[in-house]
Amino acid sequence: MALKNNLLWIVLFTFATVAGGLVLAALFETVRWSAAARTLVFMPMALSFVAAGIIWAFIFDHNPAVGTVNALMKSAHAIIYGAGAAYEAKAFLADPQTVNYALIIAGIWMWTGFCVVIFTAALRAVPREIIEAAVIDGANPLQIFFHIKMPSIRPALMLVSTTMLINVLKIFDIVYSVTGGGPFGSSEVLATRMYRSAFIEGSYEQASAIAVVLLLATVPLAIINCRGGITAE
């Protein structure tokens, strides 16, 4: 279950943070309030992961009086079906089918700002002369982005992608602070499984095996990440 959940994190979290960060960085280049927007997106990085986990535990709380998501869904339900219609609150963090997606959303919220900052710096490093020449030649914004900017920021794209993959492999704080791996182990990832095996169940052999797997998966990514950082510089 832990390995399956980690694979789900790898696919959804990595794609959403990298793609979302790239799209937002490109959009923020076109607005006047780009500095304020980047600050707002980056603000979650100032929080500890435990604090962010507690915030999202309240956001996804099943009680509409506390949980923001259920409050919004209750309001939408009242608008669609009438104020007197009964609303059944959704326990996102207690449902094995939704808990992982809720945690991944929290992780995306935390890390998208980092991606935006890196991509913004990379996009600003693209020579303006090349872009201006493309505009004169009749290139539209999409052509400029995909044929000029994207190839130019490829090292930054590699750097951000490997960083997000490393974060996914060692993800622990958000999962443990929000659900502790529950309900019934349905949100466990490799890092929480390793912690539980070593310090709760006393199964040091299993914990060591998981640690070796994480090490073997992380080291190649770290090497690629360092090379990508050097290339980007």
Q: pLDDT tens, 36-84?
A: 888 899 999 888 888 898 999 999 998 888 899 999 999 998 888 887 7
Cβ partners under 8 Å of residue 182, min gap 6? 94, 99
Place of tokens 């992961």: 49
Which helix (DSSP H) or strand (DSSP E) does residue 120 occupy?
A: helix 99-124
Q: pLDDT digits over 103-151, tens only? A: 999 999 999 999 999 999 999 999 989 999 999 888 898 999 999 999 9
Q: Which two tokens stand for residue 172?
A: 């622990």
Average pLDDT over residues 85-107: 92
Domains of the chain in sequence order: 2-232 (1.10.3720.10)
Please determine, for residue 225, whether its predicted confidence score (pLDDT) is greater than 80: no
Q: State the SS3 of 80-108.
A: HHCCCCCCCCCCHHHCCCCHHHHHHHHHH
Q: Which two tokens stand for residue 106?
A: 């929290």
**Is residue 139 within 8 Å of residue 130, measured between CB atoms?**
no
